[in-house]
Amino acid sequence: MTESLYGPDQAQGIWVYLEQQGGQLEGVSLELLAMARELADETSAELTGVLLGDDVEALANDAVAHGADRVLLGQDPELAQYRTEPYARVVTALVAEHKPDIFLLGATPDGRDLAGRLAVRLRTGLTADCTNLALEDDSRLLLGEVTGFGGGILATIKCEQHRPQMATVRPGVFTTGAPDESRKADIQRVNVILLAEDDRVEVLERVTEEGADLTRSKVIIAGGRGTRGDFSLLEELAELLGGDVGATRVAVDEGWIGRDRQIGQTGFATRPDLAILCGISGAMHFTVGVEKAETVIAINSDPEAEIFEHADYGVADDLFQVLKPLVDQIKQAQAR
Ligand SMILES: Cc1cc2nc3c(=O)[nH]c(=O)nc-3n(C[C@H](O)[C@H](O)[C@H](O)COP(=O)(O)OP(=O)(O)OC[C@H]3O[C@@H](n4cnc5c(N)ncnc54)[C@H](O)[C@@H]3O)c2cc1C
């Protein structure tokens, strides 16, 4: 078996990669800081944030307020936009020097890209797209929960020999903690050494797609194949309740709704206070995306549908027959 650059004996501390864009830390980085803070407190480990960019020093203070004990800050004009080569070079050098035990990154497009590259360079394992994290009781090894084999199983993965233990975690899996501006921490500026070969990609333009952010929604009205493509009542209900419309992959693949609305293994992980699931069968690929919802109401015309196993309240009926009077009654109540 290939050996990693260093082993468990030399490894120490928990790291979170602080992804930034447009002068802000990504929400998932703050969520990871909150989760990693709990892991660090459990093991008396130091929590380090790794922040790269250009002119991003203020974000290091945000990371401290959200729980970091130390921030390694690498700044260079070449790091202004995320690019695989320069970012991977700087982070690999930092890991080789400081030897963290655990390294967590957000499962965003950039985070996934960087994590894969780092794992290969560091010759360690990577548990990608985790839907939960914990520490094993006796060994204190990191346990990453992922759906595996096409969603057929829920697997818990650990990395016993190689370091760092790396994982990417999907946005919305954990909650962001309240910032504590009085926290003090060590912000260390690190040397950024780049080579000419790191400069093979030039970013010409960056276009941000506008879309819903279901990871922050408090109320979600989600529809599946049972809607037969008619989301109008779901949209009305979502608007009345101040929520957002979500969907299964079937509904997205059919072109009934945008991909930014997809919930599940290959969509978004959500944690709303209320999720109303309409015409959805309850496949595990979907339910992993709503399992952290506070209250789930399922409406399905098939009383045997699997979705009822995942719901707090179930209505075995045609979704249109249920939603129409519900929308009318809420409208009447709001008009009074
Ligand atoms: C690797 C992989 C990843 C995947 N990732 C995702 C993912 O991220 N998200 C996701 O959603 N899926 C994902 N899938 C697909 C997933 O396995 C299911 O196929 C999908 O979730 C089913 O969608 P559905 O519930 O809308 O459709 P169906 O399974 O067809 O269910 C439709 C339901 O609607 C009910 N119904 C029909 N008419 C009505 C009505 N008038 N009123 C009330 N109920 C009605 C039916 O009884 C049925 O239960 C993935 C699959 C794979 C293999």
Asked if the model's pLDDT at residue 247 lies above 80, the reply is yes
Residue 73's pLDDT is what? 98
Give the Cα separation of 128 and 114 in Å (integer).
Answer: 12
Of 262, 229, 227, 266, give the one whose Cα is nearest residue 247: 262
Residue 31's pLDDT is what? 95
CA of 333 to the centre of ligand 1 (A): 33
The widest CA-to-CA distance across the chain, in whole angstroms, is: 70
Which residue, chain included where needed, has tokens 């995306």?
Answer: 289
Q: Is the CB of 249 under 6 A from ligand 1?
A: yes
For residue 163, the SS3 value is strand
- Torsion angles phi and psi, residue 243, rounded to 5: -120, -165
Asked if the model's pLDDT at residue 198 lies above 80, the reply is yes
Asked if the model's pLDDT at residue 148 lies above 80, the reply is no
Which pair of tokens denotes residue 230? 């008619």
Give the Cα separation of 251 and 244 in Å (integer).
Answer: 15
Ligand 1: residue of 281, 306, 309, 326 to mutate (most ligand atoms within 8 A of CB) is 281
The string of pLDDT tens digits covering residues 135-146 is: 999 999 999 998
The string of pLDDT tens digits covering residues 41-79 is: 999 999 999 999 999 999 999 999 999 999 999 999 999
Bond preceding residue 164 cis, omega within 30 of 0: yes
CA of 311 to the centre of ligand 1 (A): 15
Residue 151's pLDDT is what? 61
Q: Is the CB of 131 under 6 A from ligand 1?
A: no
Residue 20's pLDDT is what? 96
The superfamily CATH assigns to domain 14-199 is: HUPs (3.40.50.620)
Q: Is the CB of 304 under 6 A from ligand 1?
A: no
The string of pLDDT tens digits covering residues 161-170 is: 999 999 999 8
Asked if the model's pLDDT at residue 17 lies above 80, the reply is yes
How much of the chain exceeds pLDDT 90, in percent?
A: 82
Asked if the model's pLDDT at residue 201 lies above 80, the reply is yes
Query: Domain 214-335 belongs to what topology?
Result: Rossmann fold (3.40.50)
Asked if the model's pLDDT at residue 328 lies above 80, the reply is yes
Domain positions in the chain: 14-199, 214-335
Q: Do domains 14-199 and 214-335 have the same CATH topology?
A: yes
**Mean pLDDT of all residues in 81-110:** 96
